[in-house]
Amino acid sequence: MIISYELLKEILKDSTPPIDELIKKLINIGFEVEDLTNPVNKNVITVKVENIEKIESFNDLFKVNISDNEQVITVVTSWDKLKVGGIYAYAPPQTEILGKIVEARKFGDITSEGMLLSYKELEIKPDFLSAEEREGIMELPSDTPVGKNFYKLFLSAQINLKVPFNRADCYSFLGILREILTAFEISSPTDIKNNINYIYPTFNITKIKRDKAKEDFQGIKIISKDACPFYSCIIVDKIKPDKSPYLLRRLLFSFEIRPINNIVDIANLVMYFYGQPLHTFDYNLISGKEIIVRQGKIGEEINAIDGKTYPLNEEDLVIADNLHPMAIAGIIGGASTEINNSSKAVLIESAYFNPLYINRTSSRLNINTDASARFSRGVDRTRTKELAIMAANLIAFVCKGTIAGEIYQDGTDKFEPKRISFYIPEFKRVTGIDLDRYTATRILNRLEIPFEIKSVDQLTVKVPSFRETDIKEDVDIIEEILRFVGYDKITPKASLSYIKYEYENANFQLQSKLRNILAGLGFYEIVTDTFVEDDLIFRVYGDNIGDFVRIKNPIKTGWSFLSPNKVFQFCDVAAKNLFRKKTDLKLFEIGKHYLKDSEDEFLDIALTGNRNIESWLEKPAKVDFFYGKGIIESLFNRYKLPFKERISIEGRILDPIESVEFYIDNVKIGSFGKVEKKIVDFFGINEEIFYGSIKLSSLLMKYILQSPKYNPTPRTQEVIRDIALVVDEVVKVGDVITKIRALASSSLTNITFFDVYRGKNIPENKKSIALRLTFNFGINLKGEQIQNTLEKIINEVCLTFNATLRR
Amino acid sequence: MNLEEQIDKIKKEFYSELERVKDISDLEGVRIEYLSRRGKIRTLFSELKNLSEEERKEAGNRLNTLKEEIGQSLERIRSALSKKPEEIKKFELFDFSIPGQNFEIGYIHPLNIINEELYSIFRNLNFKVIDGFEIEDDYHNFEALNIPKWHPARKMQDSFYIDEERLLRTHTSPVQIRAMESLTPPFRIVTVGGRCYRRDAIDATHSPVFHQIEGLVVDENVSLSDLSWTLTEMMRGIFGKGINVRFIPSYFPFVEPGAETLISCPFCMGNGCNICGNSGWIELGGSGMVHPQVFRNVGIDPAKFKGFAFGWGIERLAMIKFGIGDIRLFFENNVDFLRQF
C-alpha cells in the first residue's frame, strides 16, 4: 500500500508528523516499510507548445516554441508527435538530466534552449504509466497548470507499506490514515468511518446531472447468496472515456496506479482511497441488460481483461448477463464488457463477496489483483452503496455524464456487530504491562471501535464492520491496545513457575556424539538439499521407484524426488569440489532418507582421493574400500556393536563387488561400498567415490548411548600368537575371524588380520592368511597350556574351512 | 628508574648477553656479571633497604625469582656446553622446526554449530527438546494453527505437496501441535534445527530448504514478559552478553498478540552500522502469545492457560553470527567454506 506524504499533508495540514517520525511510528504499530521514495528536486517546468515548425536544413528535426506563461522559449526536437497546445515537461539549460547537464545547442541559426523530456529522462517508474506515456516525449494531461515545477505537481515522497495479512481495513488510504491519527493522537477533522468526503474537495464537484432510470435495465439477481450477500450497482450515461485530467492523474501517481481511462481510473482511486473495489461494465455491451450473480458452470470459460482465458467451475462466483459470465466476481473483469473509447454508458458495480470464494478461485486460477487482495480479506460491507454513488458522481462530473436513475441492489448489507467482552486486567496477564481503563478506552475510541463500559474493569466491545474479519476475541482487542501502548513497553521478566527435570533428547545426543567423532576422524560435515533430479533416479532405479516420495509441484521442473539416500547429494558435492581441485574429500552428513513409509535419520559418509596428508613422513595413499569400511568398523567396535557383515544385495548405487552390508541380529544397520560408475559418470567425476550409510536406529542408540558397565581389568599379561592359515581362495577372512572369536570366547581380547600371501609354496587357488591373536586368560598359564588352547582353536578352524596351518 | 623497572631491564640485558655466549668462559663471565658478590643482582638487593617494609617484601620476592631464573638458565647452558663435541653436533643437527606428521581434523557445519549451541541453551533453560516428521498432513501444518483452507495467510507459506493431504512441513509448528495434543500443561518444549520447506525462489536470503528453532511454553501465567526474558537469555547465549530483545507488532495466524522479534545488532551493539541498516536492530523472526483458537484445537483451555511461542530460521542466526551474506553457501558445501568453522 502506497502512502503519499503530500496527500497526507493536504489532509492533516499542520499536524502532519515529519516523515522520519511517521515511518518509525508506522513500523512500531505493525506496518513494515518496504520502501521510501524521496521527492525529486529538479528544475523541470510544465510548458505548453505554442507552435511547431519543420527545420528545412535538418532532416527530421522540429523547431518548437513553448511557453511557461511568462516567456516563449525555443527548443529543437526530433519527436514528431508533439501537439500544438499540448503540455510537456521541460528542462531548461543547466538542469541535470540522467547525470548530464542540459546545455543550449545550436542547430544552424536556431538555438535550442533546453529540452522536452520523456518518462525516462523524468526518471519515473514505467510500471505506473500508460503505454502512450512511455513513448517518446511524455504528454501531460491537457489541464495541467503551466509554468510549474513538474515534480511538485505530480510526485511526492511515497511510503510503500506492507500491510499485515489480517488488516483488510488497511488496504486503503483511509485505513492507514486512521492508524496514523491514532498513533500520533491527532484530532482528525472528522471521524473517518462516517466521512467519505476526503476525495471530493479536490474536485469541487458541482451540478451532477440526473436522468431517469434506464428503461431497459432488468435489475440484479443474486443466485448465490452465500457467496455474494450484497450487490449494488449504478449507471452513468452519456459518458466520454478519455485520459484522466490533471487532478486525477496526480492522484494516480500518488497511489502508483497505471492510468487506463477516466472511468476505470476513478474506480481504481475509490478502491485505493476507501478499500472498496469497484467494477465498471460497458452498459451497452451487457446482453439482456441483466446482472446475474451466480456460480460458474463446468465447461464455461471467460476471456479476461488480462488477455487470458480462464476455465470456470461451480466453485467460482461470476457476474453474468443473460448469456455469459462478464467477470469473475471480485477478481478480474471480462474483456467482452470492458470500458473502451466508444463506451457510452457505464454500470458501476459495488458489492460484498464472501472472502472464501475469492480466495479459492484466485488461488486455483493463480490470479492476484488489487480487487482480489481486498475481497479475499473482507471489505466493509456497510459502505458498498455510498461508494458506488460517490464513484458515479465523480465519473459523471469528470466525463460530464448523467446519473441514470437510482442505485440498484440485491441482498443485504446489514451488519450485526459481534460483541466481545473485554476484562481489562487480562491485558496484564497476556502482556505483563499494566493498563488502566482510560488508556484502553482512549485507544479504542481513536480506532473507532465502539464499546460499552460494563463495570470498573469490564468493557463490551462492538466490532465495527471494517474490522469484521480480524477482531474476533479478546486477545485481538489486547493486541490493538498493545500496538498503541507500544510493544517496547514489554520488559523481560521471568515468572515461569514450573520446574521439572527434562531428559536429554537421545536422538540429538547420538547425533552430537557421531558428529564429534567423525569430525575428529578428519571428516567435514555437510548439509545438503532434499530434492533429487528425476532423470538421475530413473537412470539408477528404472521403474523401481514405488518406495520413493515425489513432490507434485517441485520448484525446479524435473526435481520432484525426495532423496531416498544421500549418494546423489554426496556425488554432487564431490563433483563441485573436485572441479575446484579439492581432490581429497572425507564428508559426512546426519540427515533423513525419505521413503514412502519412513523418514529415518542416517549418518552418511563419503570419501575420495587421498586418505592422509602427504608429508615427508608419510607418502600419500588413496582411500579404498577397506580404508572406508575400516572407519565404520572402528566406530562400531568403539561401542562394542555385535555386528555382522554380509554381501551387499542393494545393487543399484553401490558396486556389486566392492560393497558390504552391516547387520545386528539380522537387522540391517548400514552399508558401505564403491559408488556405481553410472552415478559417478553422471556427475562427470573421474575418481572413485566410496559411500556408506548407517541408520540411526534405536538399536544403534542402545549401544552408543548405553551407560558402560565396568569389568575388572585383567592383572595378567597378554599373550600374543601369530598364525598363518592356508585356505581356499573363496574362504572369507571375516568368517575365519568370526569362527576363531566364537571358539576362543572371552579370553581372546583382539584379533587382527595382517597379511595375505599367494605364490611360492602356496598351492594354486589357495591363499595364506596371517592373523595375530591376543589373549588374556585372567590367570597365568604355562606355555604348553597356551599352546594347547591355541591348537584346539586351530584344529577346529582347519576342519571348518578345510585349512592347513602354515609352519 | 624504580626498582621494578630496573629488574625488568636487567632481565632483558641478561637474555641478550646469553645469546652471545659461545663457550664455558663466556658463560663464566656472564655469571660473574650477574650473580657474583659485586654482581648486578647483589647490587639491587642492597637497594632494598631504602624501601618501605611492604615494598621491600614485594621487591625482594621479585629479585629472588629473578636470581633463581638466571641461575637456572646458566646451569642449562652450562650442561649443554659441557657435552662432548659429537653430542653438540647431534644437538645442532636436530631440526625441531620440521613440520611433524599432521592429521586433518574435520569440521562441523556452521548450521549444526548453532544447533548444538541452541540445544545446550534450551537444556539449561529446562526445555524438553522434541522433533517430528518433515512430511506432514494439512491439518497439523495449517488448520490446527488457525490457518484454514483458503486462508490468505497460506500464501505466506507456499508449500510442496505430495498429494491432496500431505505436504512438506512449512515450519516446525506441527511438531508443537502434536506435542500439545499429547502433553498436559504446564510444559516447555523446543524443536532445534528442524528441516522445513517453502516454495520460495532461491536468492541470497531465501532457500526452499531451511531449518527452524521453535519453542513453546504453556503455563497458567506466562506473558509476553516471559517471552522477552526467554528470548533475551537465548540470544545472549548465541551472541554474547549485552544483547537486548525488542518486539514490533506482526501478524501470524497462530499467535495473538503477534510480534516480529528484533535483537540489538551484535556487530555495533545497537549503535548503528551498515549490517543493521543503521537502525541498531536486526530482525530475527516471529513470536507471540499462542492464539486461543490453537489451544482450543488441541484441547487446552485458553481461559486457564496462556502460552508463548517463537520460531525462526537457523540459517538467519548463523548468517548473523558468522557474518555470512548468502544463504546458498550453507548448502553448497564448498570445503573452503566449511574449513572456516
pLDDT at B7 over 70: yes
What is the C-alpha to C-alpha distance for residues B118 and A677, in angstroms, rounded to an integer?
41
**Chain A residues near residue B198 by CB distance under 8 angstroms:** none
Residue B82 sits in the same domain as residue B133: no
Q: Does A522 touch chain B (CB under 8 A)?
A: yes
Q: What is the pLDDT of residue B41?
A: 86
What is the C-alpha to C-alpha distance for residues A492 and B194, in angstroms, rounded to an integer?
27
What is the C-alpha to C-alpha distance for residues A254 and A70, in angstroms, rounded to an integer?
29
A positions 621-640 inside 8 Å of B (CB): none
B positions 84-123 inside 8 Å of A (CB): 98-109, 111-112, 116, 119, 123
C-alpha distances (whole Å) from A361 to each of A120, A324, B121 are 38, 18, 46
Q: What is the pLDDT of residue A205?
A: 67
What is the C-alpha to C-alpha distance for residues B181 and B216, in angstroms, rounded to an integer?
13
The arithmetic mean of pLDDT across residues A393-397, rounded, is 91
CA A430 to chain centre: 31
Q: What is the pLDDT of residue A204?
A: 63
Q: What is the pLDDT of residue A538?
A: 95
**Chain B residues near residue A355 by CB distance under 8 angstroms:** 152
Buried b (16+ CB within 10 A) or exposed e, A107-138: eeebebbbbbbbbebbebeeebbbeebeebbb
Residue B333 lies in a domain: yes
Residue B31 sits in the same domain as residue B149: no
**Chain B residues near residue A521 by CB distance under 8 angstroms:** 106
Q: Do A594 and B133 touch (CB under 8 A)?
A: no
Q: How many A×B Cβ pairs under 8 Å?
A: 244
What is the C-alpha to C-alpha distance for residues B135 and A366, in angstroms, rounded to an integer?
25
Classify burial at B56, counting beta carbons within 10 Å of its beta carbon; exposed 0-12, middle 13-18, buried 19 or more.
middle
Q: Does B277 touch chain A (CB under 8 A)?
A: no
| Domain final position from B62, B93, B124 | B93
Q: Does A718 touch chain B (CB under 8 A)?
A: no
**Chain A residues near residue B219 by CB distance under 8 angstroms:** 496-498
Q: What is the pLDDT of residue A786?
A: 86
Residue B98 lies in a domain: no
Q: Which of B162, B249, B251 sits opposite A487 (nearest CB)?
A: B249
The amino acid that residue A212 corresponds to is K
Residue B67 sits in the same domain as residue B119: no
- Please tell me whether residue B82 adopts helix, strand or coil conformation: coil
Q: Do A496 and B226 touch (CB under 8 A)?
A: yes
Q: What is the pLDDT of residue A195?
A: 56
The arithmetic mean of pLDDT across residues B267-273, rounded, is 86
| pLDDT tier, A191 (very low <50, low <70, confident <90, very high otherwise) | low
Q: What is the pLDDT of residue B5?
A: 84
* Maximum mean pLDDT: which of A493-507, A749-763, B47-61: A749-763
* Best to test chain B binding among A498, A507, A527 (most B CBs inside 10 Å): A527
What percent of chain A has pLDDT above 70? 97
Q: Which of B106, B220, B256 sits opposite A521 (nearest CB)?
A: B106
pLDDT at A187 over 80: no
| Domain final position from B66, B93, B120 | B93
pLDDT at A192 over 70: no
**Chain B residues near residue A598 by CB distance under 8 angstroms:** none
Q: Do B152 and A528 touch (CB under 8 A)?
A: no
Q: What is the pLDDT of residue A498?
A: 64
Residue B99 lies in a domain: no
Q: pLDDT tens digits for A336-374?
A: 999 999 999 999 999 999 999 999 999 899 999 999 999
Sign of the C-alpha dihedral, residues A376, A381, A383, A384? positive
Q: Which of A376, A490, A554 sits opposite B225 (nearest CB)?
A: A490
Q: Does B336 touch chain A (CB under 8 A)?
A: yes
A positions 144-183 inside 8 Å of B (CB): 164-167
Q: Which of B112, B128, B156 sits opposite A515 (nearest CB)?
A: B112
Residue B241 sits in the same domain as residue B124: yes
Residue B102 lies in a domain: no
Q: What is the pLDDT of residue A375?
A: 96
Q: Do A479 and B133 touch (CB under 8 A)?
A: no
What percent of chain B has pLDDT above 90? 60
| pLDDT tier, A262 (very low <50, low <70, confident <90, very high otherwise) | very high
Residue B192 sits in the same domain as residue B326: yes
Smallest Cα distance from B78 to chain A, Å: 34
Q: Which of B99, B106, B202 sits opposite A519 (nearest CB)?
A: B106
Kindly calculate the radius of gyration of chain B based on its CA atoms and give it in whole angstroms: 33
Residue B176 sits in the same domain as residue B85: no
Q: Do B208 and A555 touch (CB under 8 A)?
A: yes
Q: What is the pLDDT of residue A203?
A: 63
- Please tell me whether residue A673 adopts helix, strand or coil conformation: strand
Cβ contact B159:B198 at 8 Å: yes
Smallest Cα distance from A638 to chain B, Å: 19
Residue B219 sits in the same domain as residue B286: yes
Considering the entire predicted model, what is its pTM? 0.86
What is the span of the domain harbouring residue B139? 110-338
Q: Which of A363, A478, A521 sits opposite B257 (nearest CB)?
A: A478
What is the C-alpha to C-alpha distance for residues B243 and B247, in angstroms, rounded to an integer?
14
pLDDT at B294 over 80: yes
Residue B34 sits in the same domain as residue B132: no
Smallest Cα distance from B138 to chain A, Å: 15
Q: What is the chain B residue with the closest CA to A556? A: B201
Q: Which of A487, A495, A555 sits opposite B247 (nearest CB)?
A: A487
What is the C-alpha to C-alpha distance for residues A550 and B160, in angstroms, rounded to an integer?
10
Residue B105 lies in a domain: no
Residue B226 lies in a domain: yes
Dihedral angle, C-alpha A517, A520, A522, A526, nearest 10 °:
50
| pLDDT tier, A439 (very low <50, low <70, confident <90, very high otherwise) | very high
Q: Which of A502, A520, A615 sits opposite B105 (nearest CB)?
A: A520
Q: What is the pLDDT of residue A199?
A: 60
Among the listed ranges A420-429, A632-641, B24-33, B300-309, which one has the minimum average pLDDT value? B24-33
* Best to test chain B binding among A471, A490, A532, A587 (most B CBs inside 10 Å): A490
Q: What is the pLDDT of residue A216?
A: 93
pLDDT at A190 over 60: no
The arithmetic mean of pLDDT across residues B104-124, rounded, is 96
Enumerate domains of chain A plus CATH numbers. 2-39+157-183 (3.30.56.10), 45-154 (2.40.50.140), 209-411 (3.50.40.10), 419-486 (3.30.56.10), 506-705 (3.30.930.10), 719-805 (3.30.70.380)
Q: Which of A549, A617, A618 sits opposite B162 (nearest CB)?
A: A549
Q: What is the pLDDT of residue A785?
A: 86
Cβ contact B319:B330 at 8 Å: no
How many CB atoms lie under 10 A from the CB of residue A304?
22
Q: What is the chain B residue with the closest CA to A601? A: B133
| pLDDT tier, A471 (very low <50, low <70, confident <90, very high otherwise) | very high
Residue B88 sits in the same domain as residue B224: no
Q: Do B249 and A483 touch (CB under 8 A)?
A: yes
| pLDDT tier, A714 (very low <50, low <70, confident <90, very high otherwise) | confident
Residue B146 sits in the same domain as residue B42: no
Smallest Cα distance from B335 to chain A, Å: 7
Among the listed ranges A53-62, A521-530, B78-87, which one has the minimum average pLDDT value? B78-87
| Residue-averaged pLDDT of chain A | 92
Q: pLDDT tens digits for B125-177?
A: 999 999 999 999 999 999 999 998 877 777 767 899 999 899 999 999 999 99
Cβ contact B328:B202 at 8 Å: yes
CATH of the domain at B196: 3.30.930.10
**Chain B residues near residue A27 by CB distance under 8 angstroms:** 248
Q: Do A525 and B162 touch (CB under 8 A)?
A: no
Residue B27 sits in the same domain as residue B78: yes
Q: What is the pLDDT of residue A747?
A: 86
| pLDDT tier, B25 (very low <50, low <70, confident <90, very high otherwise) | confident
A positions 368-387 inside 8 Å of B (CB): 376-377
**Chain B residues near residue A504 by CB distance under 8 angstroms:** 123, 129
Residue B159 sits in the same domain as residue B58: no
| Residue-averaged pLDDT of chain B | 91
The amino acid that residue B238 corresponds to is I
Q: Pick the closest to residue B99 from A523, A621, A622, A614 (CA basis).
A: A614
Q: What is the pLDDT of residue B93?
A: 81
pLDDT at A487 over 90: yes
What is the C-alpha to C-alpha distance for residues A554 and A392, in angstroms, rounded to an integer?
47
Residue B177 lies in a domain: yes
Q: How many domains are there within chain B?
A: 2
Q: Does A549 touch chain B (CB under 8 A)?
A: yes
Q: What is the pLDDT of residue A418?
A: 96
| pLDDT tier, A201 (very low <50, low <70, confident <90, very high otherwise) | low
B positions 247-266 inside 8 Å of A (CB): 247-251, 253, 256-259
